[in-house]
Amino acid sequence: MISLLFLLTGFFQDPAGYVVMLKNGKVIRVQAPPQFEGRNCVFTTQDGTASAIPASMVDQEKTAQRNEEIQQQIEQVKLAKEEAEALARAEAEKARKEAETKVIKVGDTNALPTYADPGNNTLDEGNGEPAEGAVAGPSNTRLFNNDRNDPVFVKSEVSSRVGDNWQFILTVGCDAAQGVSNVNVSFTLVYADGSQTNAVRAVSPAKIAYQSEGTVTFEFPATQNWERSSYELTFQLGG
């Protein structure tokens, strides 16, 4: 549509200007349609000179017809330019909005696959003492589908006990054709007693191409068992 408007604009660009057509076939280029005052035809030439000639020398019918055609061309040029400018503004606004930071929430309000504890989410054996192997327990992996067709999404979460911390490694995928950049994940971990902790980390690399991946790692104090996690992704389209 934009290209068509620019073609139209180019086609009608800079009409030759208004004219005074004489009966002898000569044409005088003028700034505006001539005025007939009594026996005179009054006009201003394109160089700005105010002039007048006998009206009897002018083919008034051809002059009026040609100037009407020129006026229509000028109106078409003006309309095409206005439409092209309006579309350009709309495209610029669309691009500006796409460049703004977007937010995708994943977690409490959007069902995640059920966490199946393989043993890494246990701090003790019921007597307050650390469970054997708790220092580096097995990992638990959850795989997520991008059912909502979000531009960027968490593909997987690998959780495990590492030393005195719960560790979560997230793999972030991109389904946006233009890619995404500056992806940040706000990770909230909810403990067994209902308390929670939060951290924000940047996904690496800073730019993720279409159908490519990035990763980010979180660690939280293993002061008690945890029950669930949720994420909030912020990002920019393109980059």
CA distances from 48 to 29, 80, 153, 181 (A): 11, 28, 66, 57
What does the pLDDT look like over 106-120, one tens digit per residue? 544 444 444 444 444
Q: Is the pLDDT of residue 137 over 60?
A: no
In this structure, what is the dihedral angle of CA atoms 148, 144, 192, 198, given to the nearest 10 degrees? -70
Contacts with 39 (C-beta within 8 Å, 6 or more apart), sequence order:
54, 55, 56
Q: Is the pLDDT of residue 85 over 90?
A: yes
What angle do the packed helices 2-11 and 60-99 form, to 10 degrees? 150
What does the pLDDT look like over 148-194, one tens digit per residue? 888 899 888 888 888 888 899 999 999 999 899 999 999 999 888 98
Task: Supply the pLDDT for residue 42.
Answer: 96
Global pTM?
Answer: 0.52
**Mean pLDDT over all residues of the chain?**
80
DSSP conformational letter for 130: B
The amino acid present at 76, given as its one-letter code, is Q
Q: Is the pLDDT of residue 123 over 50?
A: no
What does the pLDDT look like over 192-239, one tens digit per residue? 898 999 999 999 999 999 999 999 999 999 888 888 888 889 888 886
Q: Is the pLDDT of residue 146 over 90?
A: no
What does the pLDDT look like over 50-74, one tens digit per residue? 999 999 999 999 999 999 999 999 8
